[in-house]
Chain A
Amino acid sequence: SVAPGCRPAEPQTSEPGPALWESRERRRGSEQPRGLRRSISQPHQEPHRAQDCRGPAGRPVQHDKHGVAAGASAKHQPETRRDKAPRAPGARHSMDPSPESDPSHEPQSAYPQDAYDGGHGPYQPHEPGYGLDQPGYSPYEDEIPDPQARMLAIKNAKAYLLKTSTKSGLNLYDHFATMLTKILDEQPENTVDIIEDISQDVKWAQFRKKMDTLRDEHLIPPTFEAAEKCKALFGWSDGEKGKEEVVGEPALPNVMETAFYFEQAGIGLSKDECYYIFLAFKNLVNVQPIQTCRFWGKILGLEMNYIIAEVQLREGEEEEEEREEEEEETVAEEEKEMGEGEEEEKQKEKEPEPPKSTYKPPPEIPKEANGTGTNKYVYFVCNEPGKPWVKLPPVTPAQIVCARQIKKFFTGRLDAPIVSFPPFPGNEANYLRAQIARISAGTHVSPTGFYQFPEDEEEEEGGDTYEENPEFEPSPVAEMVESLAMWAHHVKGILKQGRCVWINPVQKSEEDEEEDEEEEEEEEEEHQEETGQPLLTLISEDEGMKNIPAWTAQASTNLIPEYSIAILQSNRWPGAYAFASGRKFENIYFGWGHKYSPESHTPALPPPAEAEFPTEPGITEATDPTVEEELAFKAAQEEALAEAEEEEDEEGEDD
């Protein structure tokens, strides 16, 4: 709308040169006393300059308002001013409430009337400013005087801002709008420092939205799947199964209690994870026929980890499984024999066979029976609580012997191959089982006297069984920490052979060789009988490595000794811990599953090369006969021939 009787347009987009200011001043100077004019014109100038350098917020806004308004009316000023002159001041005053602009606009408002009032009429030709009040000669000609044109300019500017980028499909106007909205919503501190980042983020967000509309697949992140599994853990229905378990001892271990004690030493998993493991154990106990069960520990792997349960199955179940395994083995053997028989027949039809290798592999040492020695317990593993439990196969001595020579990280997949030298007979499941066996044998300890040998049996050194001592009296924590003689191993150590109980492999090998046709009596290798330490050995007898003792004992807290517990850490197997508090004790393992060695691991060297073939006269290289020898041999042969012919002739003649 046209501001009635408005002042000449205050320049908005361009700064008038000094001449224009001067002319303004002079124009105004005619209307008002000088002092007033100066003080008035000063603030008039400043707001204009302040417009460019962002002065107080009020002024630029007003400038714009006035500018626009003025621009709208600039063209019409010369005419309208005269028309609305009488009304102008009053109306203008109401329009401009701010005291600042009033005085600054006074001179302009005074201008049209004073042309006739104050004695300054239209300028004389000799005065500067002459002719400037005519339309088309306004000093602000370089501005867009036409309100329509100004609006047009604004529309052009806005259209330019709205122009869509050919590359990204965004436009600056929307981008600024979104950005400013975001800033005003979030109100970060020191926005000017991070404005570029905000701008970038807004752009990325735009981009991503478009991608989403294109694809719009429901990608279920694994978080939710895992949460589903964990929730399923909770929802296992007890129902009838719960009642069966009441009979006899509770098979389920109290994982949370154990976790509490270990936490006093700073060892253990987070409480959530412990509880999930607890529930997973409950599932295991429901599914498998388990007599006793224990949380053995956690072994870390590259891709996934293993949670391990040490379990004793109920007796009937074990026998069934053994039989099943034996059947499978015999079936496999029969198949192999049939295959070999066919091959042999085929070969006999062909040319004579090349010399067979006389290499006889060392006799295989049989694994220990389930329930004894290294196979005393059955182990179940899972990658995470919620995933199904997998039973690990029993361990063979060959696997243990090989596991001692290699050092490999676990990947987390049970079927992963173990690429090593010496080649490990089995896959990761077997290697895992072997390491578990070694760790158990090396680090499972209990307070001395807790277990005892049963009295009715003879005290053999190979005794494998132990039972709880009803008369056990727990020693105070201070003693348990100070002296390692208060702890004893309750798992039999593994001999070099790979078993807990030594067996002479030669006897067994004779039985195996009955199937072979070639029965060669080997030289009887002297296998020395190996003996290990008896079952309940005190751990003070464990050897240390160099100057490091095998065990480190600590009390969990020195501040509150009455409630502290004794903690043992193994230095030979870093990650194996044991605690004891009164009658309670427990062992656990958290680690990567490797033994500590002060020296670096050196892999085994390959064995010396075998002789290719046995030395026989037919193969042994002899020097070739010299020429003379050949000639002599030839001559001798011819003589022999000649003699033979003569004899035949003679015989023939005789007849």
Chain B
Amino acid sequence: MEALSLPAALSLVAGGGAGLSPELRAALAASLPLVQRDYRFERVWFWGCIQGVRGAYYIAQGLGPDRAFPRALLFSGLNCLDWSLLTPATEEMLALAEEVKGRFQGDPSFEYSLSKLSASNHPVIKEEARLIATIEEIDRAVGIVPRGAFVKTPLGSVHENRHFEGLSLVEAKKLSSYFHFTEPANLKNKTLLEKADLDPSTDFLNSLEHDIPQGSWSIQLEKGGSVVVLRSLLWLGLTFYHVPMTKQFGYVYFGTGEKNLDLPFML
């Protein structure tokens, strides 16, 4: 979620019971603008918090002019004041991190020993790499934005749509009004009829309605329809909020950083 609108946004996602203490909020309000200044980001998003056994990681992302470009990751352990830059995720890291199961420990230098099968080169993986990979996976899988919030210019870069005025209440209840904010996987596989309704400047991402398994999102209207909250069931803890007919939206993750592989049994 946008760092500047953090206080209001946190109260909108608080329905899940997770939030930030006043101390952390104050620290974020002070440190995120400084991060923006130091790294010359155009936008800073507070991504969320991954709870480890002995400590927690607070993550922020910085965006450049092209919003689709891979975002810079920063993390801070426990006090939200000192932020360290993380290296971008690589495919290798992602593959290794899939092997690791269990909770995060809370210490970035902790090393997990992987089983012998896959990891020929790397018998261990550090918690920091696992963290980076997990954040990247979560963003790819369940990082969502409303339809129309971002436009793609003819040059290929992605910008915020200043003409976006929010989804209507009817649209906000449909899964097809939300897009994954990542490289689209199968955008071309649509019938001509469907494509006719699309607008290539706004419909350049995958929508949520074809997510597998079906029903892996829970849409709720809170406060009698004044806020629509989507919670991911695949990555428990990811909450997306949007106030219909306004420009406010955002997502945040408060959780343990583990994928919910039991989802098919639970539905």
Residues of A within 8 A of B (CB): 188, 194, 197-198, 201, 221-227, 229-230, 263-273, 297-298, 300-305, 406-409, 546-549, 552, 556-559, 569, 571, 574-575, 590-592, 594, 598, 600-601, 603
Contact = CB atoms under 8 A, between A and B. Distances in A.
B220 A268 contact: no
A222 B266 contact: no
B262 A600 contact: yes
Contacts of A272: 11
Contact of B103 (A229, A266, A548, A559): A548
B23 A557 contact: yes
Interface string B46-67: 0000010110000000000000
Nearest to B237: A574
Contacts of B267: 408-409
A143 B262 CA distance: 80
A571 B54 CA distance: 11
B224 A227 contact: yes
B22 A600 contact: no
Interface of B: 11-12, 14-24, 51, 53-54, 79, 101-103, 162-163, 169, 215, 218, 220-221, 223-226, 231, 233, 236, 256, 261-262, 265-267
A264 B26 CA distance: 12
Contacts of B20: 266
Contacts of B256: 574
Given A268-B19, A590-B16, A601 B224 contact: no
Q: Which of B79, B163, B231 has the most CB of A within 10 A?
A: B163
4 shortest interchain CB distances as A-B pairs: A226-B224, A590-B17, A266-B21, A601-B262
A500 to B, nearest CB: 27
Contact of B21 (A264, A271, A303): A264
Contact of B15 (A201, A223, A273): A273
Q: Which of B22, B53, B231, B265 has the most CB of A within 10 A?
A: B265
A571 B21 contact: no
Contacts of B261: 600
Nearest to A560: B23
Nearest to A600: B261
A590 B22 CA distance: 19
A575 B16 CA distance: 10
B17 to A, nearest CB: 2
A263 B21 contact: yes
Given A264-B22, A302-B218, A557-B21, A271 B11 contact: yes
Contacts of A226: 223-226
Contacts of B18: 266-267, 590
A298 B220 CA distance: 15
8 contacts: A197-B163, A226-B226, A263-B19, A263-B22, A269-B15, A303-B218, A303-B220, A408-B265
A269 B239 CA distance: 14
A531 B108 CA distance: 42
A194 B14 contact: no
B181 to A, nearest CB: 21
B53 A549 contact: yes
Contacts of A546: 102
Contact of A222 (B14, B15, B23, B225): B225
B233 A409 contact: yes
A333 B101 CA distance: 51
A535 B226 CA distance: 46
Contacts of A556: 21, 23
Contacts of B11: 270-272
B128 to A, nearest CB: 19
B36 to A, nearest CB: 22
B241 to A, nearest CB: 11
A297 B224 CA distance: 21
Contacts of B169: 221
A586 B169 CA distance: 39
A270 B21 contact: no
A559 B18 CA distance: 22
B64 to A, nearest CB: 20
B237 to A, nearest CB: 9
Contact of A273 (B14, B21, B53, B225): B14
B80 to A, nearest CB: 11
B14 to A, nearest CB: 4
B103 A408 contact: no
Contact of A225 (B22, B23, B220, B224): B224
A558 to B, nearest CB: 8
Nearest to B101: A598
A595 B111 CA distance: 26
B53 A548 contact: yes
B224 A194 contact: no
Contacts of B231: 300
A145 B68 CA distance: 59
A23 to B, nearest CB: 47
A547 B101 CA distance: 12
Nearest to A589: B17
Q: Which of B17, B79, B215 has the most CB of A within 10 A?
A: B17
Contacts of A305: 15, 220
Contact of A224 (B15, B51, B162, B224): B224
A269 B162 CA distance: 32
A593 to B, nearest CB: 11
B162 A194 contact: yes
B81 to A, nearest CB: 10
B17 A267 contact: yes
A552 B54 contact: yes
A598 B267 CA distance: 20
A226 B221 CA distance: 11
Contacts of A194: 162-163
A384 to B, nearest CB: 8
Nearest to B231: A300
A601 B53 contact: no
A272 B103 CA distance: 33
B23 A223 contact: no
A269 B14 contact: yes
B224 A222 contact: yes
Given A547-B102, A600-B261, 4 more contacts: A201-B163, A272-B11, A548-B102, A603-B265
Contacts of A230: 224
Contact of B17 (A229, A268, A302, A558): A268
B219 to A, nearest CB: 8
Nearest to B221: A222
A555 to B, nearest CB: 11
B229 to A, nearest CB: 10
A264 B20 CA distance: 8
A443 to B, nearest CB: 14
A409 B163 contact: no
B246 to A, nearest CB: 13
